[in-house]
C-alpha cells in the first residue's frame, strides 16, 4: 500500500514535467552492432526497423537538447536559462519535488501562462524540473545515453509505451513550443517532433551507437 502510494506520487510528478521518455516497464535491451533494440510489449504495434528508429531518434534528440527542453533537464540541481543554456541567474534549486525550495519555488515567478514582454518568466501551470529521485538529465547526454535513459523504466517514471506516446502531448512538453516572447522554438514543429517520437518508439526504440 505504502509503495503504491509512493509510486503514484512519483508517477504523477513525472508526468507533468518530463519532456520525454520511453518504453515500457518490462523492456530489456540487446546489443547489436549499430544500435540497441528495445523489446517492446505487444501493443501498440511495433515494426522493428533499427535504421528508421535511430534516424527518428536523432531528430528527437535535436529537440530534447534544444534550450527549450534541456534547460529544465540540467545535469545539476539548478535549471538552465537562455539559448546558451547558462545557469539560471538566481540559481533556484530543484528541491525534492522539482518545484523549487523556500522562497525560490518555480511558481513564485513562473506564472500559469507566459508573462508578456521580453526576458520575462515563461509560464505553465505545472512549471517545474524533474523531481530529485527521477532527475531525467538531458544536459551532457549523448544520443545513445539519452535513448537508453528514456527507455529505462527506473529512470522514466515507469511509463509504458502508451503513456510515453501520450507524453508527447503533455502540457509542459508542449510549452516548449510556446516559449514566450523572444525565445527560439525547438528545431522542429511539435507535430514533426511527435511524429519522430512515435516513430522511434514504434520501430523498436533503438539507441544510436554513440
Partner 1 sequence: MISLNVNQKNYRVDADPNMPLLWVIRDIIGLTGTKYGCGVAQCGACTVHLNDEAVRSCVTKVSRAEGQKIVTIEGLSKENDHPAQIAWNEENVPQCGYCHSGQIMSAAVLLRENPNPTDEDIDAAMAGNICRCGTYLRIRKAIHLAAELQRKGSASK
Partner 2 sequence: MGDISRRHFVKSAGVAGVALWLGLTAKGAAGKRSTLAAAKNFTPFILIESNGQITLYNIKPEMGQGTYQSIPALIAEEFEVSLDQVIIKNTGGEKEFGNGQRAGGSTSVRGSYNEMRKVGAAAKAVFITAASTKWQVAENTCYAEYGKVIHRPTGKSAGYSELIEEASKIDLPKEPKLKDAKDFKIIGKQAHRPDIPIKTNGSAVFGIDVQLPDMVYASIERCPVIGGTLKSFEATEALKMPGVIKVDKVERIVGIYSFIGVAVIANSYWAATQARKKLKITWDTKGYETYNSADYDAYLWKHANEEGMVDKNIGSIDTVKTSPQNTIDADYETPVIAHHTLEPMVCVAKVTGDEVEIWSSNQVPNLITGAGDNDIPALTGFKPENVKYHNMFIGGGFGRRLYYDYIVEAVNVAKLIDRPVKTLWSREDTTKKGPWRMMTFSKMSGTLGDDGKLIAFRHKVIGPNFHESLFKTFDKTRLDPSMVEGIGTQDYQIPNLRTAYVKTDSHLPGAAFRSVVSSTICFPHESFVDEMAHKAGKDPMEFRLNMVAQTSDTWKLLQKLRELSNWDKPLAKNKGRGVAQWKFFGCQLGYVVEVAHDPVTGMIKIDKVTALIDLGVVVNPDNVKNQIEGAVIMSISAATKPGITFKNGVVEQSNFYDNPVPRINETPQIDVHILADGGRMKGVGEPGVPPFAPALANAIFAATGKRFRKMPFDLQVN
The interface partner of residue 115, options being partner 2, partner 1, none and the CB cut-off 5 to 8 Å by kind, is partner 1
| 91 part of the interface to partner 2, by CB under 8 A | yes
**Residue 91 grid coordinates:** 540559481
| 103 part of the interface to partner 2, by CB under 8 A | no
Among 6, 119, 162, 184, binds partner 2 (CB under 8 A): 119
Q: Quick check: 203 and 45 in contact, CB under 8 A?
A: no
Among 3, 30, 47, 89, binds partner 2 (CB under 8 A): 89
Nearer to partner 2, 1 or 118 (CB): 118
| 87 part of the interface to partner 1, by CB under 8 A | no
**Residue 64 grid coordinates:** 530534447
Q: Quick check: 20 and 60 in contact, CB under 8 A?
A: yes
Chain centroid to CA 100: 18
| 107 part of the interface to partner 1, by CB under 8 A | yes
**Residue 52 grid coordinates:** 528508421
d(CA 113, CA 160): 30
- Interaction site with partner 2 (CB under 8 A): 89-91, 118-119
Amino acid at each position: 500500500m505504502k509503495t503504491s502510494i509512493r509510486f503514484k506520487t512519483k508517477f504523477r510528478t513525472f508526468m507533468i514535467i518530463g519532456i520525454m521518455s520511453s518504453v515500457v516497464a518490462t523492456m530489456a535491451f540487446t546489443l547489436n552492432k549499430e544500435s540497441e533494440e528495445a523489446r517492446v510489449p505487444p501493443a501498440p504495434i511495433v515494426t522493428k526497423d533499427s535504421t528508421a528508429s535511430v534516424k527518428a531518434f536523432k531528430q528527437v534528440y535535436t529537440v530534447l537538447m534544444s534550450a527549450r527542453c534541456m534547460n529544465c533537464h540540467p545535469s545539476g540541481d539548478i535549471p538552465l536559462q537562455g539559448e546558451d543554456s547558462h545557469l539560471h541567474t538566481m540559481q533556484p534549486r530543484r528541491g525534492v519535488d522539482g518545484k523549487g525550495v523556500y522562497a525560490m519555488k518555480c511558481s513564485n515567478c513562473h506564472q500559469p501562462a507566459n508573462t508578456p514582454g521580453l526576458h520575462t518568466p515563461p509560464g505553465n501551470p505545472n512549471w517545474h524540473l524533474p523531481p530529485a529521485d527521477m532527475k531525467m538529465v538531458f544536459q551532457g547526454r549523448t544520443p545513445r545515453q539519452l535513448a537508453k535513459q528514456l527507455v529505462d523504466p527506473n529512470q522514466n517514471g515507469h511509463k509504458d509505451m502508451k503513456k510515453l506516446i501520450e507524453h508527447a502531448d503533455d502540457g509542459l512538453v508542449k510549452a516548449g513550443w510556446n516559449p514566450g516572447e523572444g525565445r527560439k522554438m525547438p528545431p522542429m514543429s511539435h507535430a514533426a517532433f511527435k511524429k519522430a517520437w512515435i516513430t522511434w518508439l514504434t520501430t523498436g526504440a533503438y539507441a544510436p551507437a554513440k
